[in-house]
Homo-oligomer: A and B are copies of this chain.
Amino acid sequence: MAVCTVYTTQSLNSTFSSSIKSHLGFHQKNQQLVFLSSNGKKWGSSNKKDGHNTVTNNNSYLITCSAADQQTVVIGLAADSGCGKSTFMRRLTSVFGGAAEPPRGGNPDSNTLISDTTTVICLDDYHSLDRTGRKEKGVTALDPRANDFDLMYEQVKAIKSGVTVDKPIYNHVTGLLDPPELIKPPKILVIEGLHPMYDSRVRDLLDFSIYLDISNEVKFAWKIQRDMAERGHSLESIKASIEARKPDFDAYIDPQKQYADAVIEVLPTKLIPDDNEGKVLRVRLIMKEGVEFFNPVYLFDEGSTISWIPCGRKLTCSYPGIKFSYGPETYYGHEVSVLEMDGQFDRLDELIYVESHLSNLSTKFYGEVTQQMLKHSDFPGSNNGTGFFQTIVGLKIRDLYEQISASRAKAPVEVAKA
């Protein structure tokens, strides 16, 4: 069984932006190309590695076919922070086993992380303007005008269809666009960055989308800790830098959360009155209802409204304790379920106790969330809701991937034409 997609090179070339037209997105030199009929009969030479095959014919059209049950699942992760090897991505890839590493022998400044199952690409790589270009035009990296959504769309679509692409690299150190790197279609492609849900065409390619929503108070507290304590910046300059980013952030980044299937909101604790240290966090996992292959996690009684302080006769917690809340809400007009954790885990028994009372976690064995958290106890947020919910979202994505794969294995042949 195969899924085939036909591209005309005309349409591909016409969508490349002028600034990176030299990066021909589709790799045609170093790989053997094949043309498969829908019944799998070979029409040319083949490179069946990864189960994905690509064919070109005199540059007039491009046809790609992949085994139906091996089509790439695409996950979008929107966040305001830089596109480094973020903790969330490390937690996600860890759920699938194996570590995520930069492409071997490639650009040391590559933003990509590859593991056996997942490839995480940073959407900063689709900057159409480099640092100098942005300065000249007076636009920030948050501004859509500094990003090439046409190329982003075409390449994500190609990878999803089984086509290997040559993706540009935005070098965060130099602020320049480096020569492209080869991205082969993985089982799961994560596109991480500022705008994964900004362009409706890219958004429509996502099988699941996540928005990491750090509240202004926490963002400010974190920046103070990092930029003031560790880098010697002044409080004024930190405030000024946050203020300067805010208009574009509010205009182009924040609105994407309405499209997310899951939002992780990070807020100040309510357990300590007037806390502004930003050390104890209240984290909310907002899960959209009715998303195929995604069953929201719940606490005790699905669909009702619950608050739970597990600390009591059976479990003793240290100050200020832990408080969970769960219930149905409405988020940008969508029906959602929200799981909230305020406070932090100080001991292993607190973590496993909480895990054992949550349902729909998509774990494969008892205590898997706890095991994952312990495995990466050195990661930031490992004792609070950020790490806990990131791990849970990782498990949900594994479950989603497995369900999609299973359903595609059963589904009849589909032929999509571009």
Are B307 and A312 closer than 8 Å at their CB atoms? Answer: no
Give Cα A312 to B310, complex, Å.
22
- Indicate with 1 or 0, residue by residue over A310-352, a CB within 8 angstroms of chain B CB atoms: 1111110000000000011000000000000000000000000
Give A46-73 interface residues, CB cut-off 8 Å to B: none
Q: A300-B300, A301-B357, A357-B301 are in contact. Are A308 and B306 (CB under 8 A)?
A: yes
Across-interface contacts of A301 in B (CB, < 8 A): 300, 308, 310, 314, 357
Contact of A327 among B302, B312, B315, B357 (CB under 8 A): B312
- Indicate with 1 or 0, residue by residue over A350-383, a CB within 8 angstroms of chain B CB atoms: 0000000100000000000000000000000000
Across-interface contacts of A310 in B (CB, < 8 A): 301, 304
A305 at interface, CB cutoff 8 A:
yes
CB proximity of A314 to chain B, nearest CB, Å: 5
Q: Give A300's nearest chain B residue, CB to CB.
A: B300
Give Cα A328 to B310, complex, Å.
11
- Indicate with 1 or 0, residue by residue over A289-310, a CB within 8 angstroms of chain B CB atoms: 0000000000011111111111
Q: How many residues of A contact B (CB 8 A)?
A: 19
Across-interface contacts of A313 in B (CB, < 8 A): 302-304, 328
Give Cα A308 to B298, complex, Å.
13
Give Cα A148 to B155, complex, Å.
93
Give Cα A211 to B22, complex, Å.
84
Give Cα A312 to B315, complex, Å.
29
Are B314 and A308 closer than 8 Å at their CB atoms? Answer: no
Give Cα A308 to B303, complex, Å.
11
Are A312 and B303 closer than 8 Å at their CB atoms? Answer: yes
Across-interface contacts of A304 in B (CB, < 8 A): 308-315
CB proximity of A331 to chain B, nearest CB, Å: 15
Q: Give A327's nearest chain B residue, CB to CB.
A: B312
Across-interface contacts of A314 in B (CB, < 8 A): 301-304
CB proximity of A212 to chain B, nearest CB, Å: 26
Across-interface contacts of A328 in B (CB, < 8 A): 312-313
Give A151-210 interface residues, CB cut-off 8 Å to B: none
- Interface CB pairs A-B, < 8 A, 17: A300-B301, A300-B306, A301-B357, A303-B312, A303-B313, A303-B314, A304-B309, A304-B310, A304-B311, A304-B313, A304-B314, A305-B308, A305-B309, A305-B311, A305-B312, A306-B309, A309-B327
